[in-house]
Amino acid sequence: MNKPFSLGMAALLLALACCVASSCRQSPSDPKTIFEQAQRALDAHDYTTAEEGFRAVLKIDPHSAAAYSNLGVVYMRRKEYARAVEAFRNAKRLAPQVTGVDLNLGLAYYQQSDFAKAIPHFALVVRSDPSQFQARYLLGMCHFLTFDFGPAATTLEPLYESQRTNLDFLYVLGIAYQKLGRMQDSTRTFEQLVRAGGDSAQLHLLMGKAHLDLSEISSAQAELEKAISLDPKLPFAHYNLGVVYQRQGKLAEAVAQYKQEMSLTPDDAASPENLGLIYLERGDPDDALSSFRQALNIDPKLPKSWEGMGKAYLHKNRPEQAIPCFQRALDLAPDSARMHFQLGQAYLKVGQHEKAQSEIREAGRLQAEARKKFEDMVSGKLPPPQAPAGMP
């Protein structure tokens, strides 16, 4: 398996060519010496020293793509993905021809769940080297996670033989085939999924999620309960079972499952967001606000949570606080007729009738143009398929 690209000594010599050409002396202030020391610290997992070293190189040579790239690796290993993206983008600007930088930049976006932004970087690596396994695998996963099932299947198909025991891979490819109407291929892939998964908790989670996608609620419940019985700490099993209970109207049971999930995956916003929706349905705006805030602290780009905050404030007769929440929701989902209507209602309550009518008209226009009139309140969720081993 190919490992993610790291700008090592060969790239360092290229990046410091101007220094070599001028016959720089080895000294404590020499960027080559500092880089080597930082590289050794990175290899030893001393990320603080490594960061300081690569930043020292950049103070001397702001055009060192190698230093920016390895600084990005430091941030990736510390799970500081936004800082990793910034560092890799600087490396890409300075070394646009080095596809390894694109691989690392794609990985950083993938770890942030920003799959659309990861796609062009993985695609560039695959075009440059069609045999690059990791880039192809993650490119296919990104297409799947952005609901582009045709490219997902096309990209992943060449990996089938090597991944025939990878449950995440088989699930994604089988669902992609199903969405494309390739039912024979889907059946073959799911049969292999069952053979490979045996009676494992992960298999039952994947099958439960598949049944949930098809609105086969009873089958989903049976599979998810089996998954939890085999592994009570399996990430996202409790979340998906919570979705099942929520769809069945068993709100107390759903709340218990979401709270259990939050103890297992505290960095995921889906459970607190769904808790907020349940509290709204129960008429409990204070608990709803608390849950939505918790979700937004994890991910501030959740339009449903911002909308939920607005609804909770309206329930508390505080429309002046609801308005900015609905506005934030519309910044993230500008084509939502429902959110425009909610904002219009908030404007009415504060006496801004012209703005209210404008929002209500926009809601009507969007509703008339909508391709689908109904959407599920919640849907099942799986963690993003695991990146192959060897990331920075």
| Residues 156 and 149: beta-carbon distance below 8 Å | no
Q: pTM of whole model > 0.75?
A: no
Q: Residue type at 270? A: A
Kindly tell me if the per-residue pLDDT of 311 is higher than 90: yes
Q: What is the pLDDT of residue 13?
A: 33
Domains of the chain: 1-112 (1.25.40.10)
Q: How long, in residues, is the chain?
A: 392
**CA 357 – CA 51 distance, rounded (Å):** 54
- C-alpha torsion angle, residues 156, 162, 166, 169 (rounded to 10): 0
- Report pLDDT digits (tens) over 62-86: 999 999 999 999 999 999 999 999 9
Burial 103-114 (b: 16+ CB within 10 A, else e): bbbbbbbbbeeb
Q: What whole-number distance in Å separates Cα of residue 122 and Cα of residue 290?
A: 38
* pLDDT given at position 368: 77
H/E run at residue 285: helix 285-298
One-letter amino acid identity for 174?
G
pLDDT tens digits, residue range 90-99?
A: 999 999 999 9
Q: State phi, psi for 7 to the nearest 5 degrees.
A: -75, 100
Instruction: Give 28's pLDDT tier (boundaries 50, 70, 90).
Output: low
The pLDDT tens digits of the residues spanning 357-383 come to 999 999 888 887 764 444 444 566 767
Q: What is the distance of C-alpha 358 from the center of its chain?
A: 34
Q: What mean pLDDT, rounded, does the chain reach?
A: 88
Q: Would you call 332 exposed, middle or buried from its count of C-beta atoms within 10 A (0-12, 13-18, 19+)?
A: middle
Region for 250 from its dihedrals, namely left if φ exceeds 0, alpha if ψ lies in -120 to 50, beta otherwise: beta
Structure tokens at 69: 């790239």
pLDDT at 181 over 70: yes
What CA–CA distances, in Å, run from 307 to 10, 240, 271, 321? 51, 23, 16, 12
